[in-house]
Amino acid sequence: MLRVGHRPGRDPRLTTHLALTARALGARRLLLHPPDPELAARLAAVSERWGRGFEVLGIADYRRAIREFDGTRAHLTMYGEPIERVLPRLRKERRILAIVGGAKVPAELYGLADVNLAVGHQPHSEVAALAILLERLRGIPPPGRWPEARASIVPQRRGKRVRTHGGGSR
């Protein structure tokens, strides 16, 4: 996925949640414009513990990243086509670049994308929009998605149980 309009130091929590959500719901990487090495390091630490398979790459030129992407560019925007209309086409694609904006969305994104899609036509959040798109595309990834995890959760009716690599739990 691509996040345009990140403000390093100003909204670290929101973009961190976006990255965590992308990772947990099966995205392979986050292209982050502008780059934020601290955020990338935080996500690397999460992947170290909970399993690899996701990376954060800072990019200086988002137009180039969109142009050079070898697949379908899907821009999430409340002004776009309804997600239900677009999903059948997206489900056939092998590679998708989901693009989300921030507080201000550059108008050119609408033209750079192959498809502009809306998750409802009300304003909400890039985290919610991305989560719904990923879930509708592939569903929630199974636990086996993170085979190199140093820790994994043992689901409980109540309380918390985490199994650490090597068989222990706490």
Nearer of residues 23 and 75 to ligand SAM, judged by Cβ: 75
Q: How far is the CB of 58 from ligand SAM (least distance, A)?
A: 19
Give min distance, CB of 17 to ligand SAM, in A. Answer: 12
Could you tell me the smallest distance in angstroms from the CB atom of residue 78 to ligand SAM?
3
For ligand SAM, the closer of residues 122 and 156 by Cβ is: 122
DSSP-derived secondary structure for 5-22: S--TTTSHHHHHHHHHHH
Query: Using CB under 6 A as the criterion, which residues of the chain lie in contact with ligand SAM when the complex forms?
Result: 76-78, 100-102, 105, 118-120, 122-126, 129
3, 18 in Cβ contact below 8 A? Answer: yes
Nearer to ligand SAM, 43 or 98 (CB): 98
For residues 141 and 117, give the distance between their C-alpha atoms in angstroms, rounded to a whole number: 23
Number of separate helices (H) and strands (E) present in the chain: 6, 8
Residue with tokens 């959040």: 125
